[in-house]
Structure 1
Amino acid sequence: MNHKQDNKAQLPTLRILGTRGVPAAHGGFETFAEHLALFLVQRGWRVIVYCQQEGSGPVFEDRWEGVERVHIPVAGDGPKSTIVFDWKATLHAATHRDLCLTLGYNTAVFCALLRLKGVPNVINMDGIEWSRAKWGPVAKTWFWMNDWAGCWLGNHLVADHPEIKVHLSSRVRADKITTIAYGADRVSDVPADAVRALGLEPGRYLTLIARAEPENSILEVVQGFSRHPRGMQLAVLGNYNEASNAYHRAVKAAASAEVRFLGAIYDKPVVQALRFHSAAYVHGHQVGGTNPSLVEALGAGNAVIAHDNRFNRWVAGPDARYFDGADGFSQVLDELVAQPQALQAMGAASRERWASAFTWDYILGQYEDLLKRWLPGP
């Protein structure tokens, strides 16, 4: 073994599975994986991230910002392709003795291989995916089975929300679960040019960022907002296909002239500007744990108007405003428009909530402490 290989062997090592890879380009888990990988590399870890590559050919490796990447080509870009990728990534990880962190339980049954090989594996169990209304019976059954499989097969579990730990504790003992939430950057002093370019006036609009699905309360928010003229706009981000989706048609049909559908925006600086200059952020998610978009709104100092459920209340805290249904949203908005100073106080409270529980340094430090406990011995 040469000196370079020997140095690698001495470093604490982590393999990250369950995402499409780094740098982040898709969703919350990819963003988290990027932050964690860079954080640990800076703290002397060796980090290997498995990356899904569309196409064919052999597995290949490279480095990005000090992070080792294992690229696994698979045909296609849909759910079946992701399942194939997860299986191949697990096969590859099982040939090593390194600690694994699996993000999500969607293919947790594959973790049986890691267990059989004696490879330590910590699983972030994400939200209660099988309960989401958007899935049909086959998908619900698959997710439900893998939810159980993750609980049994992981050496240790991470819940991103206290209520997720309650759910998992019905399946495994509580000391097998550690609650660690999700982080976000502080957003401040963002130029308003991108906001104005979209036809919005800083401080005179609400922002809603969510997939256009019933469980995200978009129809109720649009209906409630459109009850009567507001003197401000509602900026809705996301893809809407009226031709093929009845729910999308219903949302569009319910919208007043003050509702702006901006489409899907993936440019991070633009999204940050939209958040920062919003009068308030609307979060209609009804299920799930700690939602990354809600945490990012806290980091931007947004006043938060959220659907009233146990997940959102823990994240956003007591100073946010909560609604249930179109009438409830309209009433909350009526009250806040009449009291603009309340929005400023809510925004300050959001920033305080972020600083107390959701900074990346705090979240990633908790992960490092947990992962150290599961590093395999020599």
Structure 2
Amino acid sequence: MVVEELSTRMVAAGNEVDAYNRKGHHVSGKSFEGKSNGNLSEYKGIKILVIPTFRNGNLNAFIYSVLATFRALFGHYDCIHFHAEGPCAMLWLPHLCGIRTVATIHGLDWQRAKWGGFAVKYLRFGEKIAAKYADKIVVLSKNMKQYFMDEHGRKVEFIPNGISKPVKRGTNIISQKWGLQKDTYILFLARVVPEKGLHYLIDAYRELNTSLKLVIVGGSSHTDGYIMEIKRKAAEDRRIIITDFVQGEELEELYSNSYLYVLPSDVEGMPLSLLEAMSYGNCCVVSDIAECTEIIEDKAVSFKKSNVDDLRDKLQWLIDNVEIVEVFKKEASSFIIGKYNWDVIVRETLRLYAK
């Protein structure tokens, strides 16, 4: 999503962009591999270079980073832009060859609960390499900007993600598939991984006095054990619907018609799903981590991170006070689209390249 938005706009502005893509399974699981083409050679003017790698989930990201970086050395690029801590582990190589580099750190991936052992060490190594060798580092939150100064003594650039005005839709597909109508459900839409805090939401939801359904949308990411636990908990309440990964018009309908959107994360970089939810005019409820509260300011509701009781109380308050929900909905879209404009963000990124 982020790379697509940046790249297509850069091409439209007259730049040449190559994007490196890892060949392998769909991010949301094998069952979705037919829903997207991982072998494109061109997309909206962007040249796509597909890098083969192992099927082993524990090694393919590492092998991809190595092979993609070696391939990029021969691309005659003015700048190579690395995204996320893992790929940055190879950033030293183009630096050694005198090629300018930019690194975007979307979040502290090593903090995510799904990683352990070698993966954590590798991700932290990637962060250190970026801090030491990248010509410019981009972070998505002011909190992360302070982290790099405290941890690495490194000044970085704050350039957040953006959002575009969406197309709002009625309840055609979601009514037929799930029996959902406007304002009849609470929406969770994110990867089903422990750090997104879905288990807090289910525990809080089961204590609510409400007829609203809880709709859980998202695929797993190396977290099959966690998703099985979520399905077990959800099976105990008939009001909970798990849709798995969705996209296209079905996704747009889910965003367009929810009563509340909830993101109870313990760890975030800059959550695009929150920007999307607000752009659709949702009343949003988020944990009070800095990466979320920086985004919402006073245009959404926050609760104490990891606190099921506080989450339950905030949700019940919003369920019981429709007029408050309507105020948040009325203000959310124009606020978030004005604050995070893709055209401005692309100009800032190109300015960074030019330096």
Range of TM-score over shorter length? 0.7 to 0.9
Spell out, residue by residue over 1:231-278, the C-alpha distance to the aligned partner (whole angstroms, 9 max, x if none). Answer: 21111113579xx7267436633653222122222x222111101111
Instruction: Indicate if the aligned counterparts of 2:85 and 2:124 stay in contact, CA closer than 8 A.
Output: no
- Following superposition, the deviation at residue 172 of structure 1 comes to 4.1
Displacement after TM superposition at 1:73 (Å): 2.6
Aligned residues: 335
Counterpart secondary structure, 1:46: coil
Q: 1:48 aligns with which of 18, 26, 30?
A: 18
Instruction: Tell me if 1:342 matches 2:324.
Output: yes
Match of 2:45 in 1: 66
Using a 3 Å threshold, how does the CA distance of structure 1 residues 323 and 118 change in structure 2: closer, same or farther?
same
Residue 363 of structure 1: which of 342, 345, 348 is its match? 345
Find the counterpart in structure 1 of residue 78 from structure 2: 98
Return the alpha-carbon distance in structure 1 between the equivalents of residues 122 and 303 of structure 2. Answer: 32
CA contact (8 A) 1:151 1:171 kept: no
Q: Which runs of 5+ in 1 are unaligned?
A: 1-30, 374-378
Distance in 2 (alpha carbons) for counterparts of 1:344 and 1:219 = 27
CA offsets 1:304-342 (integer angstroms, 9 cap, x no match)? 011122111111222311123221121112211221011
Computed over aligned residues only, the root mean square deviation of the Cα atoms, in angstroms, reads 2.3
Tell me what 1:7 maps to.
none
Tell me, yes or no, if the aligned pair for 1:195 and 1:202 is still in contact at 8 Å: no
Structure-2 change in CA distance of 1:77 and 1:315 (3 Å): farther
- 2:29 aligned residue: none
> Larger Cα Rg: Structure 1 or Structure 2?
1
Relative to structure 1, is the Cα distance of residues 246 and 92 closer, same or farther in structure 2, using a 3 angstrom cutoff? closer
Q: Give the stretch that moved more between structures: 308-317 or 116-125.
A: 308-317
Contact 2:65 2:86 in 1 (8 A): no
Work out whether residues 136 and 352 of structure 2, in 8 Å CA contact, stay in contact via their aligned partners in 1.
Answer: no
TM-score (norm 2): 0.87
Residue 246 to residue 263, structure 1, CA distance change in 2 (3 Å): closer
Match among 82, 87, 91 for residue 111 of structure 1:
91
Comparing 267-276 and 153-162, the one that deviates more: 267-276
Identity %: 19
* Partner Cα separation in structure 2 for residue 246 and residue 110 of structure 1: 31
Corresponding residue SS for 1:50:
strand
Does residue 157 (structure 1) correspond to residue 137 (structure 2)? The answer is: yes
Q: 1:43 to 1:247 in 2, by over 3 A?
A: closer
Partner of 1:263: 244
Counterpart of 2:65 in structure 1 is: 86
Do the aligned residues in 1 keep the contact of 2:216 with 2:243 (CA within 8 Å)?
A: yes
When residues 61 and 313 of structure 1 are mapped into structure 2, their CA distance, relative to the original with a 3 A threshold, is closer
